[in-house]
Chains A and B, each alone.
Chain A
Amino acid sequence: MTWKFRLYIAGMTPIANRAITNIKRICDQHLPDDYDLTVIDLNKQPSLAETDQIVAIPTLLRMRPEPRRKVIGDLSDTQKVITGLQIQS
């Protein structure tokens, strides 16, 4: 099963950069070759945020496996990311 994530950012800010770097590191470590990460810039695609009920940026949304789960922030607290996304093997 491929894990599917959406990372919502608003422009390539330093926080957004940190968030992307952190989630990639975590996924590469815990879900190697088994994840799909889509970065969505709200500045370019503002409509998706409403659908996904995103009210804080950055927000990482686990699309699959269901149910959806969210973590927010720059994802610097790896443990919280892992528990929040329940990607503990």
Chain B
Amino acid sequence: MTEHLPDESSHLVQEPQFYETLVTQSQDGIIIIDDDGVVQFANPAARQMFAGRAHRLVGFHLGTPAIDEPVEMVLPGGTSALEVEMRATEIEWAGSKATLATLRDISLLKQTVSNLHKRIMELECLMSLGEFAADTSLDERAILTRTAELLPSAMKHRQSAVVKIAWEDSLYQAGSTAQARFTLRVPLESAEKNRGFIEVGYTEMHPETDEGPFQAEEHKFLLAVAARLVSILEHKSVMSELEFHSRLINAVGESVIATEPDGKIVFWNQGAVSTYGWRANEVMGRNIMDVTVPENARSSAGKIMQSVNQWGRWSGEFTVKRKSGERFPAIVSNEPIYSNEGKPIAVIGVSRDVSTRQQEARERETLMLAIEQVPEAILITNHGGIISFANSAFLRLTDNTLENLAGQHYKVLELAADKPGFVGLCDKLDQPALWKGSITSVNDRGTNHDNEAIISPVHNSRGQLIGHVAAIRDVSVEASLTRQLHHAQKLEAVGQLAGGVAHDFNNMLGLILGNAEIALDQLNQDDVIFQDIRQIIEAADRAANITRQLLAFARKQNISPRTVDLKESVVAISNMLARLIGEHISLTMRTDSATWPVYMDPVQLDQILANLVINARDAIEGEGRIEVSTGNASIDEAYTLGRPDVEPGDYTVLSVTDNGVGMEKSILSNIFEPFFTTKATGKGSGLGLSTVYGIVKQNSGFIDVESEPGRGTTFSIFLPRYESHTPAATIKPREIALPTGDETILVVEDLPDLLKLARRYLIKLGYKVLATTLPEEAFEIVAGHDVDLLLVDVLLPQMTGPVLYQKLQQRDPTLRCVYMSGYSADALAQDDVSIQDIHFLEKPFTLQRLANKVREALERGR
């Protein structure tokens, strides 16, 4: 302003009009007040300021200004209060002290500052609201409470402002609006729904000149606050809902993953963390393809994503991978989310690891297959006795289907007359404790089978009975095998007993026979007792024959096995066999030229054939037919399953078939027992088939019998095939002449009677005989004599015959030997003596057999 003032030296300032103009034209009010406080001068601006307040300013008792610096004053009254800044200076006026006061209207400035201040407060208030929105720790209640506390400070008259906020059914207050003289209420609305209000009140009157107690700005501000508050509360509600959903989604076991349509991961729940091994912060923003899809499955995964985006939901099983790289099958369900415009904005993928479920399913399937396929019949019922499962074996044995049985009470299994099933099974299916035992089943042909059954109650983890399981096993084969075993054991025991008796009996027979022969030798045929003694010899011969058969059955027969051509042997004996059976029965020989050889004593082969043919003959009443055949058979493992006595391998088969009366099954199991016979008393000894049995067993063979009453019988003898380069022998005709000699023979036998008998036989045959009962003496005798042959009992008290021979042979290697024994060659085999080089003389022996054996031994040595 000074810039525009004319220079003080100019003539203008000299003019009184200049000052008058300044004072009258001044925008500031200028007044002069005397010491009594009365206005003495007022310029137009001052008069304007007090217009309506003081009737006439000059002369008005305004008061003496008492200020030492500019002071803001309020000029009340009028249409609205006027705010002025007053300055005061002491002057002289008309010779007295007075005060020059200037007044500048600052209403507009004050209003502006006040408005600015208010805007700042409002801004602060709104900013605070923004902070509430961002503060996740604040819930709806806290936000409303704080807003109510905050709002008065943003009001124009903050000191007297009170606030009440109503939201839904709750009230939040700062001060009490009930005491407010003036209130202003704005609604809280969302989506045109009224949810409450904000009410502001002033407890004091603040008259505003034109707008009443609340200014338009305050109203606008409150509307803004209301809108913002609703927005914040809704956001909070949405956020808390989102948080709730997020927690919910995290709580589910399934993996929930959200991606943008291009596969970018935007959500990854806790289930996904557990399933895939990636934490959410590791995968956010990455492509789902890189994270969960194995490389070789990406093209099909891409097609799925395409199809989801294009067509909507896709679900199915898919192989995915974990962070570790491990692959696993998952059930995946993908569903797109669309914008309001129908554009896909995201894909929600829910997946579940089914590897465990698949594993469990596989295990369960294996278990079911196992139960289904076990040979045992399995039946499962529940607590009420309702059938829940029966396996194939059970269904087969009861001629049922699972469809018919499942859901039925087990009483439907009660055995019906015309149906196969189990006898008494139903009585066992409600027992509280484990039951084990035998149950008979009846098959569709009415045949009974033996079964072993275990019926067990089934309890759950709490120990409650929930049903029964029955496991039933057909043991008819085992039962049959057991019966066979018992039978074999019985035959074995009988054989041992018979063998033992026969051995002792043989020695006695030997004495009877020997002494009778010596006595007969000293008699003329005319003597009275000659025929008597001859009958003694014949009877003793028959008795010896019986004991031989018993020994054969007991497999203690002395044998001289060799390679035998079965077909030739059969042909050779056919004439003798034809004589045995008589003319009314035809005998056919059918031999296979390729029949394998066997290794056995030919005498035993004769015994087998003779006994079987006699047996066949006796089975034929009147005319009939017998066929003897030879052939080969290869026995495999399958055949031996039901025959524990049979070894698999190649066998030579000798069969004797008749068309006689045949046998019942009950008889078949006993036919090999000694003295068992169905023949009339006196017609058979009961030892024929026992002899065959013993011989076949001794030669590691077996017998198969097929017989049917009225249709005849076939005995098939299976003898192990013998593979040897030595040519097979056929049976040679027996030597009849009594061979003699003059060589020196040493006899060692512990039984003095037998020793004496042998000595007398040998002397009779022309030999020089040295004899002793003690093996030790044999050494002395040999030392003093030139002994050609040793005739020695196999079993001696001090040392065995073979040991004695071995020791004597060390002194005289040319010494020959013949063993005497009531037992077979088994005893010698145990002493590792070569069986084939040794000559046996079976006790009891006749003079003929002794002569033959001794001569044979001496000749072989030459």
Contacts A55-B54, A69-B37; is A49 near B76 (CB within 8 Å)? yes
B306 to chain A, nearest CB (A): 74
Which A-chain residue is minimally distant from B63 (CB atoms)? Answer: A70
A51 neighbours in B (Cβ, 8 Å): none
Interface contact A71-B71, CB-CB below 8 Å: no
Q: Quick one: which of B36, B64, B75 contacts A57, CB cutoff 8 A?
A: B75
Q: Quick one: which of B50, B66, B75, B81 contacts A80, CB cutoff 8 A?
A: B66
B53 neighbours in A (Cβ, 8 Å): 55
CB contact list, B711-759 vs A, under 8 A: none
Interface contact B206-A73, CB-CB below 8 Å: no
Q: Does B88 contact A (CB under 8 A)?
A: yes
Which A-chain residue is minimally distant from B64 (CB atoms)? Answer: A84
A43 neighbours in B (Cβ, 8 Å): 204-207
Which A-chain residue is minimally distant from B157 (CB atoms)? Answer: A11
Q: Does A20 contact B (CB under 8 A)?
A: no
Q: Does A10 contact B (CB under 8 A)?
A: yes
The distance in angstroms between the C-alpha atoms of A59 and B69, with both chains bound, is 16
Q: Does B68 contact A (CB under 8 A)?
A: yes
A75 neighbours in B (Cβ, 8 Å): 66-67
Interface contact B36-A55, CB-CB below 8 Å: no
Interface contact A72-B66, CB-CB below 8 Å: yes
Chain A 46-89: CB-based contact to B (< 8 A → 1; otherwise 0): 10011001111111110000001111111111101101100000
Q: Quick one: which of A13, A70, A77, A78 contacts B37, CB cutoff 8 A?
A: A70
B251 neighbours in A (Cβ, 8 Å): none
Q: Does A37 contact B (CB under 8 A)?
A: no
Q: Does B72 contact A (CB under 8 A)?
A: yes
Q: Quick one: which of A57, A60, A76 contacts B73, CB cutoff 8 A?
A: A57
A80 neighbours in B (Cβ, 8 Å): 64-67, 99
Chain A 17-53: CB-based contact to B (< 8 A → 1; otherwise 0): 0000000000000000000000000111010011001
Q: Quick one: which of B63, B99, B206, B207 contacts A56, CB cutoff 8 A?
A: B63
Interface contact A56-B73, CB-CB below 8 Å: yes
CB contact list, B565-580 vs A, under 8 A: none
Q: Does B86 contact A (CB under 8 A)?
A: yes
Q: Quick one: which of A42, A72, A77, A83 contacts B63, CB cutoff 8 A?
A: A72
Q: Quick one: which of A55, A70, A77, A81 contacts B76, CB cutoff 8 A?
A: A55
Interface contact A73-B66, CB-CB below 8 Å: yes
A65 to chain B, nearest CB (A): 15
The distance in angstroms between the C-alpha atoms of A55 and B84, with both chains bound, is 12
Which A-chain residue is minimally distant from B90 (CB atoms)? Answer: A80
A84 neighbours in B (Cβ, 8 Å): 35, 37, 63-64, 66
Interface contact B67-A58, CB-CB below 8 Å: no
Q: Which of B37, B53, B54 has the most CB of A within 10 A?
A: B37
Q: Does B212 contact A (CB under 8 A)?
A: no
Q: Does B479 contact A (CB under 8 A)?
A: no
Interface contact A49-B61, CB-CB below 8 Å: no
Interface contact B35-A72, CB-CB below 8 Å: no
Which B-chain residue is minimally distant from A58 (CB atoms)? Answer: B73
Contacts A49-B76, A69-B37; is A60 near B71 (CB within 8 Å)? no
Which A-chain residue is minimally distant from B67 (CB atoms)? Answer: A73
Interface contact A44-B205, CB-CB below 8 Å: yes
Q: Does B62 contact A (CB under 8 A)?
A: yes
B62 neighbours in A (Cβ, 8 Å): 55-56, 70, 72
Q: Does B74 contact A (CB under 8 A)?
A: yes
Chain B 73-105: CB-based contact to A (< 8 A → 1; otherwise 0): 111110001000010100000000001000000
A58 neighbours in B (Cβ, 8 Å): 73
Q: Quick one: which of A55, A68, A72, A78 contacts B65, CB cutoff 8 A?
A: A72
Interface contact A54-B66, CB-CB below 8 Å: no
A73 neighbours in B (Cβ, 8 Å): 65-67, 71, 73, 86, 88
Which A-chain residue is minimally distant from B54 (CB atoms)? Answer: A55
Contacts A55-B75, A57-B74, A76-B71; is A71 near B36 (CB within 8 Å)? no
B contact residues vs A (CB 8 Å cutoff): 35-37, 50, 53-54, 60-69, 71-77, 81, 86, 88, 99, 204-207
- 25 CB < 8 A contacts A-B: A15-B72, A15-B73, A43-B206, A44-B204, A53-B60, A55-B60, A56-B73, A57-B76, A68-B61, A69-B37, A69-B63, A69-B64, A70-B62, A71-B63, A71-B64, A73-B73, A73-B88, A75-B66, A76-B69, A78-B66, A80-B65, A81-B66, A83-B35, A84-B35, A84-B66
Q: A10-B74, A70-B63, A80-B67 are in contact. List 6 more A-B contacts (CB 8 A).
A: A57-B76, A69-B36, A70-B61, A71-B37, A77-B67, A78-B66
A contact residues vs B (CB 8 Å cutoff): 10, 13, 15, 42-44, 46, 49-50, 53-61, 68-78, 80-81, 83-84
